[in-house]
Amino acid sequence: MAEETLIAHKTRAHLNNKQSSWMRDNCIASRLAYNFAIDKLRNSKKGEGEFPTAYSVSKQWTQERDERHPWMKAKGLNLDTVTSVFSTRYGPALNNWKRAGWSADKAPKFHGKGAKLTSTWRGRTIKQIRPNAYALPNKRGTFRVGEPLRFDGEVRSVTFSFEGGKWYASFLIKTALPKPCPAPEGTAIGVDLGIAKYATLSNGSHYAPLASSDADMAKLAKLQRQLSRMDGPIKGQRKASRNWLKQRAKVDKQYRRIANKRRDYAENLSKALAEGWQIVAIEDLKLANMTKSAKGDTENPGKNVKAKSGLNRSLLNGGFHQFRTRLEAKVGARNGQVIAVNPAYTSQTCAACGHVSPENRKTQADFVCVECGHANNADVNAAQNILHRALSSAEIA
């Protein structure tokens, strides 16, 4: 049975030089409009219900825009799109802050000059000319996309973003899609995430990390070293040289390459788990706590700082939060359930008898219970403990 839903399709947008410059100006104008709203927010009274709404800020922006930024009208920017930032960015940011209980550290922040260039347009303003070509408003000509849209339906919005020296267009489409088939009834699996093996399942299956991960990170480090040796821009003193900008583009491209590979891996693995099992048990990892620096301070210097730094880097490069987010979305779409359990002592607990001891973990890979003699791969044993905790919890719907 098909049901209407919103789905995004992101693809390359081939803009010419004039279009690229114009789109960049629209992105900068959107950032300035957003910062205008944050400035009004910072100067308002602190209390629930007293913060300026997206509508009130939009009215103030319209009144003050031409005096503050006359260049926007002079360059022929799409002013309606710039103004829409209050409803598409500021409004949601304010709502998220409200849900966080108005916590000071969760307050919306200014977007600096180095922020990602992005601009969201209403779907009706980007007219389709051919399956792979669209027209920009304000008589800015047409542009090609990397591939025709994979979904039929109404285009609700188009978000342009500049990443790694290239423009991308993300189309948000309202379409009717068949609901994914649910996973087999009554099936459950435990998943242990790690570094040596990206994921280990309670049935004994293993998923290795990306084969090219180390090589990609080594190439990134080399490009960064080359960039650090060049004369970069210094505010108020000199601008960036062409060679520095070219090298910076190479670094950005490599970052994008690594991110794309990580995202693709997370998408494929989460899809396989969602298709195969109705209940997926995972560790409730607190990555912020796990990746805290071990440097310490002058009075209490840290130990094994270099090793801890490398471990932190590996944990962050794994993209475990992204994997969990995609897993929860895909399992939920198939009427399944993801259960996150406390990971404490899962690697020291015997899945057969429940005995807990550090001595059970003979090596990084081997688990042998000193109480009952149960032997297994250490990661598989941990995944089985994760599954046992999930099934015995009262959280199962």
Q: Is the pLDDT of residue 182 over 60?
A: yes
Tell which wins on pLDDT, 319 or 220: 220
Model-level pTM?
A: 0.76
**pLDDT (0 to 100) of residue 306:** 54
* Active-site residue, 192 included: yes
Who has greater pLDDT, 211 or 324?
324
Phi, psi of 337 (to 5 degrees): -145, 135
Which is nearest to 376 in space by CA: 201, 168, 259? Answer: 201
- Region 356-381 average pLDDT: 89
Task: List pLDDT tens digits, range 77-87.
Answer: 999 999 999 99
Q: Is the pLDDT of residue 204 over 70?
A: yes
Summarised one tens digit per residue, pLDDT across range 238-288 is 888 889 989 998 998 898 898 889 899 999 999 999 999 999 999 987 655
Please return the burial class of 34, using the count of CB atoms within 10 Å of its CB with bins 0-12, 13-18 and 19+. Answer: buried
Percentage of the chain exceeding pLDDT 90: 56
Q: What is the mean pLDDT of residues 107-131?
A: 92
201: amino acid identity, one letter: L
Of 32 and 360, the structure prediction assigns the larger pLDDT to: 32
Average pLDDT on 375-387 reads 92
- Please say if the pLDDT value at position 47 is more than 60: no
* Residue tagged active-site, from 152, 214, 231, 283: 283
Mean pLDDT across 10-27: 96
pLDDT value for 273? 95
Split at pLDDT 50, 70, 90, the class of 327 is: very high
User: Active-site residue 80, yes or no?
Assistant: no
Which residue would you say has higher pLDDT here, 333 or 3? Answer: 333
What's the whole-number mean pLDDT along residues 319-338?
90
The better pLDDT of the pair 323, 23 is held by 23
50 labelled catalytic: no
Residue 144 carries which DSSP code?
A: E
Q: What is the maximal distance between C-alpha atoms in the chain?
A: 79
Which of the residue ranges 23-27, 106-110, 167-171, 288-292 would you say has the lowest mean pLDDT? 288-292
Cβ neighbours of 99 (radius 10 Å): 9
Q: Per the residue annotation, which of 4, 192, 216, 366 is the catalytic one?
A: 192
State residue 290's pLDDT score.
47
What is the structure's pLDDT at 3? Answer: 76
Residue 40: closest CA among 10, 64, 16: 64
Per-residue confidence (pLDDT) for residue 309, from 0 to 100: 55
Residues in the chain: 397
Find the catalytic residue in 39, 252, 379, 395: 379
Joined together, the tokens standing for residue 95 give: 């709502």
pLDDT of residue 168: 95
- Give the pLDDT mean for 70-77: 94
Quick one: CA dihedral 2, 4, 8, 13, positive or negative?
A: positive
pLDDT of res. 99: 87
pLDDT value for 184: 92
Least confident of 92-106, 176-190, 278-292, 343-357: 278-292
Run of H or E residues at 145: strand 142-145
Q: What is the mean pLDDT of the chain?
A: 87
For 286-303, the pLDDT digits (tens) are 655 544 554 555 555 555
Angle at 348 between CA 342 and CA 354, to 5 degrees: 85
